[in-house]
Structure 1
Amino acid sequence: MTGCLAACCVFSAQAAIPIQSWTHSSGARVFLVPSPSIPMLDVQLDFDGGSRRDPAVQAGLASASAGLLSGGVKAQAGLPALDENQLSEAWVDLGARLDSQVSSDRFSVSLRSLTDPELLPQAVALAARQLAAPAWPQVVWQRDRERLAAALREAETQPATLAGRVFSQAVYGDHPYGLETTAASLAAISVADARRFYEQHVAVCRARVSLVGAIDRAQADRIVDQLMGAIEHHGCASLPSVPEVRPLAQAFTARPAFDAAQAQVLLGQPGIRRADPDYLPLLVGNYILGGGGFVSRLTTEVREKRGLSYSVYSTFSPGLHAGAFSVALQTRPDQAEQAVAVAQDVVRRFVADGPTAAELQAAKDFLVNGFALRIDSNRKLLANVANIAWYGLPLDYLDTWPQAVERLTVADIRSAFARVLQPDRWVTVVVGAQPR
């Protein structure tokens, strides 16, 4: 039923998306898109508590804190305590859900509920209870830590894990974006640490609250009242600044020994911050270079013409700091060096010359014509609104995005790629290749 309803909530790429924004009395910034098509509400709370805030010796702390939010709630205001199972059942009974997750930059909590007047107030109240008084059960953390450690041990048997770790360390150096969760860092995390992290970083003054659904501004303000009221007691201690990712000074190549049927290849460098003024030309240009699947240059040259890899792609990963630009592929161990050489040559030529006019027009047609699919449900629209809130983008960003893409020229893309990418200083990681 939910999937059917979501599919009905379609926003035309040409229709204005009415994002309302204001500062709540608590200090939180609120972003609302009323969407009366279906009786549903999606809410996302974002805080500056991503993994970039992890202490180096406790990598994984932010994720541990987010995971423990579902471990139960304490007794509060005459309401009984709920253990992990009872809390889960309470959400099932409401036909709603509350999730928490962590990215490099954000600690996010999301609520989804029907807007039925009998159900929504209960869902918001339960969400507020969960935010206000998590139980922080030791037994749940012990179980989760063992499960995570087992998953890490399993991942260690995969060449892709080793390739990713070596690549991340070389690209980011000592920047927090390069931190890797290990069994040792998990062992260094206590429940008290997770609780302190939560109370320090999940703060009203830094909250961004995004709402999409069948509510109006007055209803949104009341919902934010409850959710922010639940965490006001956390206070708002200042957080230390996080340094920027340093550019690479020289090329770095690593070929760790690993017995594998397929060689894992990663090439790249620090890329851009989301605030980079060339974000859009780089996004569109990367579709042509390696983000467009079978129509990209990398696929044409590496897969179609030479049969060196089934899949090859490139991507930018912008955040509050410069996330990595990477080219990734798998190939036969005896073909790894050739595949690396071809991929590097494709990128160098693209950086030097940019796309052709025909390639750019095809990319524009695909991206603009497919834009409506980026916002065709409440959940997708919420993700876009939350990005606008988090990165401080203009409120009309979604309305003007297709026109901004249409205005891009070959010169715009060539200039952006020439400024950002330096293939001669790249990190090259090849795991599982046969020695030359």
Structure 2
Amino acid sequence: MKQILAFFIFLGVMMAGDIKYLEVKGVKIPVISEMDKNVSFGVIGLHFNGGGVVFDKDLPISNASAFLLSRGTKALGNIDFNKALDAKAVDLEIGTGRTTLVYSLKFLKQYEDFSINMLGDLLKDPNLTKNALSDTISYMLANLASSKSDFDYQASLLLNEVAFKGTPLAKDSLGTKENIEKLNLKDIKHYLDTNVVLSRLVITAGGDLDDKTLAHLKKILEALPVGNAIKIPHFDFSITEAQRKALKDDTAIKTFSGVQQASIAFAAPLVGIDPSKEAYKARVASLILGAGGFGSRILENVRVKAGLAYSAYISFDMGRVLSLAIGGMNTDLGDNATKAINLVKQTVQNFVDKGVSEQELDDAKKFLIGSEPLRNETIEQRLSKKYMAYFNDLPLDQSKLDLEKVKTLTLPEINDFIKKHVELKNLVFALVKAPSQPKKAN
């Protein structure tokens, strides 16, 4: 035991509860792990806070940087770098979320050293070349053009413009044609130099990994600068009375040619929920209202009983960055869109005013408890749960703690919770539909 502790101290690995800390250049980097010697692969994630789309300013720099990083290193170039990965079945993907830039690595155990070395090469020597930039701009312009015919995406974008006006969330993270064409290597390098730093890093690691893996990670991470930590912002769902009055029946409307069915996105604020104490209640309420598919209130009322929509859902998003109820549905191009919107309003109002039945609560509890193993099947699923708990400043086993609370949740408790959140009635809708056809003269 003393030898193991001595080795960890030598590596600069410290324990604090369920989280390890890998010390590099004096920075204590959190390491969230899910080790399993029964598998023959490893997964590693490098999560850099500050690299997400909410920190973009004039240019869609986070998405551009993530795509450019997929073009390999300057030394090998795009084709040779990715050929080398493919030859050993190594997956190395780069992505961005609302607040983070993430390097995701998955490899067979026998190629662990090779895989981590390739990750290290990408960290040190990204392909900051004119050719890679040209590929990035072409890809982003194509992606932007494709989004114009993704009408569910356009409805979500319109909703964000209304609900988060004046914040980064109101902007299209894909950018515009004008600012995509302004992307340049200098700004991308500045983005990487600012965000790919030790002070903003959280590591996730799972599978057949061990102390040698951490030693190897420490070695490649020593190439990174210390940098500065960053505060993660929180955005409130907010719409003024003046904004609401400017809407038609609480609905923002945008038309596109080529629309075959109406796309509707909607949301409401979700205020005052303490995730450490009440997230399990919100999860049950969300499942009954609209996150549970068939059998949930929204889908049953809007699709099954009224036949007004092809699909309909609502779920609760509670976390460090956002807290809101968000949903969507698709209807035909006739009057059903307006009818469906009104029925969603009625359904939510009835839900808040009257709560749920004993049968609905029992069904929700059975579903959550019975399906929990399916949400923990893979190492990636378990790691993701732990990481999100850490990100939201919760215990790493928060999902297990919540599930135990679900088992003993009573009808008065869930209904008291639901009736307290009257803000759910303050729904705002975004409707994307086809342009109105001029009426033919008699």
Pairwise TM-score range, normalised by the shorter structure: 0.7 to 0.9
2:403 matched to which residue of 1?
402
In the alignment, what sits opposite 1:53?
55
Displacement of 1:326? 1.9
Alignment of 1:10-159 (within 5 A): 20-26=18-24, 27-48=28-49, 49-55=51-57, 57-58=58-59, 60-74=60-74, 81-116=75-110, 119-159=111-151
**C-alpha contact (below 8 Å) 1:288/1:359 kept by paired residues:** yes
- Is the 1:314–1:326 contact (alpha carbons within 8 Å) kept by the matching residues of 2? yes
1:246–1:313 distance in 2 versus 1, CA, 3 Å: closer
Alignment of 1:348-427 (within 5 A): 348-420=349-421, 422-427=423-428
TM-score for both structures, normalised by structure 1:
0.86
| Residue 227 of structure 1: how far off its partner (Å) | 3.9
Deviation per CA, 1:247-293: give whole Å up to 9, x if none: 33333422233453312222213446996443322122111111111
> Unpaired segments of 5 or more residues in structure 2?
1-16, 245-249, 438-442
Say which of 183, 188, 197 aligns to 1:194.
188
AA matched with 1:264:
S
- For residue 8 of structure 2, what is the aligned residue in structure 1? none
Amino acid in structure 2 at the alignment position of 1:85 = I
Would the aligned equivalents of 2:155 and 2:265 in 1 still touch at CA under 8 Å? yes
Residues 277-286 or 250-259, more deviating: 250-259
Deviations 1:308-336 (A, max 9, x none): 11210112334432254222111122211
Moved more, 312-321 or 198-207: 312-321
The answer to which structure, 1 or 2, has the higher relative contact order (CA under 8 A, 6+ apart) is 1
When residues 100 and 258 of structure 1 are mapped into structure 2, their CA distance, relative to the original with a 3 A threshold, is closer
CA distance in 2, matches of 1:154, 1:115: 38
1:371-424, Cα deviation, whole Å (9 max, x unpaired): 111111122222223223322321332442321222333344334444445255
Report the counterpart of residue 245 of structure 1 in structure 2: 236
Cα separation, 2, equivalents of 1:24 and 1:329: 45
The 2-side partners of 1:266 and 1:288 are apart by 19
Q: 1:418 to 1:263 in 2, by over 3 A?
A: same
- How far apart in 2 are the matches of 1:290 and 1:246? 19
The amino acid that maps onto 1:172 is F
Residues 153, 211 of structure 1: CA spacing in aligned structure 2 closer, same or farther, 3 A cutoff?
same
CA contact (8 A) 1:309 1:330 kept: yes
Structure 1: any 5+ residue segments left out of the alignment? Answer: 1-18, 75-80
Relative to structure 1, the CA distance from residue 177 to residue 412 in structure 2 (aligned partners, 3 Å threshold; closer, same or farther) is farther
* DSSP-derived class of the 2:23 partner: coil
Residues 303 and 389 of structure 1, relative CA distance in 2, 3 Å threshold: same
**SS of corresponding position for 2:70:** helix
Quick one: distance in 2 between partners of 1:337 and 1:385? 41
Residue identity opposite 1:428 in structure 2 = F
Deviation at 1:342, TM superposition (A): 0.7
Name the CA distance, whole Å, in 2 between partners of 1:103 and 1:273.
24
Change (3 A) 1:29 1:272: farther
**Aligned CA distance change for structure 1 residues 147 and 125 (closer, same or farther; 3 Å):** closer
Check whether the contact 1:42–1:382 (CA below 8 A) recurs between aligned residues: no
Tell me if 1:261 matches 2:238. no
- Residues in 2 aligned to 1:416 and 1:106: alpha-carbon distance in whole angstroms: 32
The 2-side partners of 1:183 and 1:421 are apart by 41
Q: In the aligned structure 1, how far is the partner of 2:346 from the partner of 2:35?
A: 48
Give per-residue Cα distances to partners, 1:91-141, cap 9 Å, x unaligned.
12222121110011221111111222xx21111111111112212122122
> Structure 1 residues 159 and 387, CA, compared in 2 at 3 Å: closer, same or farther?
closer
Task: Give the letter aligned to residue 215 of structure 2.
Answer: R
The farther-off stretch of 334-343 and 321-330 is: 321-330
Assess if the C-alpha contact under 8 Å between 1:208 and 1:390 holds in 2.
no
What amino acid maps onto 1:413 in structure 2? I
SS of structure 2 residue aligned to 1:256: strand
Q: Which residue of 2 aligns with 1:184?
A: 178
Structure 2: distance between partners of 1:89 and 1:419: 56
Correspondences of 1:280-359 after superposition (within 5 Å): 280-334=280-334, 335-359=336-360
- The code of the aligned residue for 2:260 comes to A
SS in 2 for 1:210: strand
**Alpha-carbon separation, structure 2, partners of 1:224 and 1:237:** 20
The SS at the match of 1:29 is strand
Instruction: Give me the TM-score of the superposition, normalised by structure 2.
Output: 0.85
Aligned length: 405
Return the offset for 1:240: 6.3
Asked whether the equivalents of residues 172 and 270 of structure 1 are also in contact (C-alpha less than 8 Å), the reply is no
Residue matched to 2:216: 223
Q: Deviations over 1:127-179 (max 9, x none)?
A: 11111221212212222212221232232244334322211111111222222
Asked if structure 2 preserves the Cα contact closer than 8 Å seen for 1:44 and 1:386, the reply is no
Q: Distance in 2 between matches of 1:31 and 1:154?
A: 37
**Aligned with 1:38: secondary structure?**
coil
DSSP 3-state at the match of 1:365: helix
Cα-Cα RMSD: 2.5
